[in-house]
Amino acid sequence: MTDLKKVALVTGGGAGMGKATSLRLARDGMAVGVLDIDGDAADAVARQIVESGGKAVALKADISDRSQVETAVATLRAALGPVTVLINNAAIENFCPFPDIREDVWDRVMAVNLKGNYFLIQTVLPDMIAAGWGRVVNLSAFGAQLGAPNMALYTATKGAMISMTRSLAVELGARGITVNSVSPGFIDTPMARRAIDGDLFPVPYQDIVANYPVPRLGKPEEIAAACAFFASDDAAYVTGQVLGVNGGAAM
């Protein structure tokens, strides 16, 4: 049965980990706002949820634009109710040697991967405060914890997400709002496949995953499962945590 008291907003929900998380939260009984800069992709995921008996609405927005974020959240509230679960998944990648990073690229990646999440949290926070219950799950990255070649810009944004997660957990815990982070390892997503196809890693990806305790690419559904736990009532006493879903690569 859908619990309409729990309305989730999943950014980057049209593909990869965002799509898997949207479908998982819907299966767990939440109504879902599927937000993506690709409106057609968001429509397809929302339609899949509705056709499976769930409740969902597709939302198109560039999260680096506060006005688009506010419009999308207002649309979701009007359609499904106040937003009490936020999955900050949307991000853009960047592979570039540090000396070659252009300032305009730096600004764009920061605007989407960090500033956009600030816009989203601020916009939905009044709903969570009013409910006395909320779940924020920020997607970070394995590379932000260990480092990654030619990814200083991308990992900088994801490291900032970890820091923001911990500080917000301290600030919001007494209001019934938990804030946690899922840190994906090498997950088989469209973003990862673009990097593989573009030969952007220093060694073949098979050589990278061969050294993991679980020697394979992760599945988007495995990230979705971690997000679903943090979004659940079972995680009420868990906040400020970073959960690595990475096949044991950080051991």
**In this structure, what are the phi and psi dihedrals at residue 30, rounded to the nearest 5 degrees?**
-95, 150
In angstroms and rounded to an integer, the radius of gyration of the C-alpha atoms of the chain is 17
Is 154 annotated in the active site? yes
Q: Kindly report the CA angle at 72 between 69 and 76, in degrees rounded to 5?
A: 135
Tokens of 200: 């952007």
For the beta sheet containing 7-11, the strands, ordered from the edge strand earlier in sequence to the opposite edge, are 56-60, 31-36, 7-11, 85-88, 134-139, 177-184, 242-245
Is 75 exposed, middle or buried (CB count within 10 Å of its CB: 0-12, 13-18, 19+)?
Answer: middle
Contacts of 45 (CB under 8 A, 6+ apart): 13, 14, 19, 22, 23, 34, 36, 56, 58
Which residues, at least 6 apart from 199, have a Cβ–Cβ distance to it below 8 Å?
Answer: none
Residue keyed to tokens 């927005």: 61
Catalytic pick from 154, 205, 212, 237?
154
User: DSSP class of residue 208?
Assistant: H
Instruction: Return d(Cα 27, Cα 170) in angstroms, integer.
Output: 30
Catalytic residue positions, numbered: 154
